[in-house]
Amino acid sequence: MTGVGFGFILFGRATIKTKILWTLILFLSIVLEQVAEPVLIKGSFLIYVKSNQDDLEEINDMLIRHKGTLNMYSDTITVGNIELTEEETIRLKELKRNVDAYMIIKSTTDIYYGLFGFFDLRHGVWYSINGKDPETALKCRSLTDKWYY
């Protein structure tokens, strides 16, 4: 849509001055978007981690105490070598709802929190158990302390 509108300006009857002005506006908009997007994304994840810090720390502490892996989708928990008590299971489900994650996955090296984004995009944050980059196919960026996105 923007391209069509720009095409009308560029190939229409507008003066050269107007064409140059709108080309500059378009170029500056693209540069602004490219510069601002990473900052806004990182800021959004930082706000999420800080605003849910207590619950996230409780989940991390609970899962780190147990060796093995865990996958949690909705209210279904699939464990691999982890034995959670009934109280821990109930509390984990409650905390998952509190932090508004659609899934939590614990491996031996990190814990992933799947989050919903705008237009149903799914992104998430990783907590590194050992302080190293999460072992994922995606390139993760450092957020804060042991947190990555």
Residues in Cβ contact with 141 at an 8 Å cutoff, skipping those fewer than 6 apart: 42, 148, 149
One digit per residue, the tens of pLDDT, for the chain of length 149 reads 667 777 777 788 878 898 899 899 989 999 999 999 989 989 999 999 999 999 999 999 999 999 899 999 988 888 887 889 999 999 999 999 999 999 999 999 999 999 987 666 678 999 999 888 787 757 788 898 899 99
Instruction: Round to whole Å and give the CA distance between 8 and 23.
Output: 12
Residues in Cβ contact with 125 at an 8 Å cutoff, skipping those fewer than 6 apart: 45, 48, 49, 112, 113, 115, 143, 147, 148, 149
User: So what's the pLDDT on residue 95?
Assistant: 97
Spatial contact of 62 and 91, defined as CB atoms under 8 Å apart: yes
User: So what's the pLDDT on residue 13?
Assistant: 86
Measured in whole angstroms, the distance separating CA 52 from the mean position of its chain's CA atoms is: 14
pTM (two decimals): 0.80
User: So what's the pLDDT on residue 36?
Assistant: 94
Residues in Cβ contact with 7 at an 8 Å cutoff, skipping those fewer than 6 apart: none
User: So what's the pLDDT on residue 91?
Assistant: 96
